[in-house]
A and B are shown apart, each in its own frame.
Chain A
Amino acid sequence: MAVVEERYVAPRVNVVERENEVVIEAELPGVSREQAEIEVREGTLYLKAHARAIGGGGTEGAYRVQERPGASYYRSFKLGDTIDPAKIEARLQDGVLTLTLAKSDKFKPRAIVVN
């Protein structure tokens, strides 16, 4: 029986904090929308992309150079209290996953009017 070994690589990310949100951009080249899994559990966001597509050209032939990780992607992010777990949006385009995490209303800056 063949043992299928699953190898995970952490994708490169940029994390930017803005006034009302935190944006995570993760590089997932070769991953389609159906292959990306995002889950929020107990204050942690889990990002997983299974069995990446190797690319458009199939896998036939002999590898002369192999630099691409050729594995599944996995990474988790601790969210903290400022993030509202119900307000997370995800978009995947050109192999980049953009997660927009809205801050909870009580942590958003608020102007107070002086009476």
Chain B
Amino acid sequence: MGSLIRNRSRVAPWALPWGMPEEFNQLWQEFNGPLGWIEQSSASPAMDVRETPEAFIIEADVPGMKKEEVHIEVADNVVTLKGERWGQREENKKDYHLAERQVGSFRRSVAIPGGFEAGKVSAKFEHGVLTITLPKPEEKKPRKIEVRVE
């Protein structure tokens, strides 16, 4: 019985950081930005995420990668970027004076608050930069409401 309680107290701060009240937890999340990083690996590309009134725009640096080598998946308000970078290192290690370019496979997911129209997602590849546009759902777009004064 005693061990069960200890177990539970070990779990509690994980669900709610530092055992703070729910309201504070929400505040803390807002302070840290509305986007959730789900996972990433060391070869993950650097990313920018911008929000416009109509859409979220993700830009990722993927120099040297081909269009076919990057995979984008969308499901349940989450965008996942997958790929493998530069497997073509053919020479001996001793021939390299410098080897700074990242290699390996990566997988990175971004949760978009409020979601997006999965059927209208578009992507563009230019100069080693991948741009993904995620249009917001109609009901999340800003609306102008005219208030009539009588």
Contacts and interface: CB of A to CB of B under 8 A. Distances in A.
Nearest to B54: A61
A19 to B, nearest CB: 10
B64 A27 contact: yes
Contact of A29 (B56, B61, B100): B61
Interface string A34-55: 0000000000000000000111
Nearest to B61: A29
Nearest to A54: B59
Interface stretch (A64-72, A81-89, A107-115): A64-72
B63 A29 contact: yes
B127 A13 contact: no
Bin the interface of chain A by size: 35 or more
Given A15-B96, A68-B48, A57 B34 contact: no
A53 B127 contact: yes
Given A27-B128, A60-B50, A13 B101 contact: yes
B131 interface: yes
24 contacts: A14-B101, A15-B96, A16-B91, A25-B101, A27-B128, A29-B62, A29-B129, A30-B127, A53-B127, A53-B129, A55-B59, A56-B126, A61-B50, A61-B52, A62-B51, A64-B49, A64-B51, A65-B47, A69-B46, A94-B66, A94-B128, A95-B127, A95-B128, A96-B63
Given A13-B100, A64-B35, A64-B51, 10 more contacts: A12-B102, A14-B96, A15-B96, A15-B97, A25-B101, A32-B127, A53-B129, A56-B124, A61-B57, A63-B50
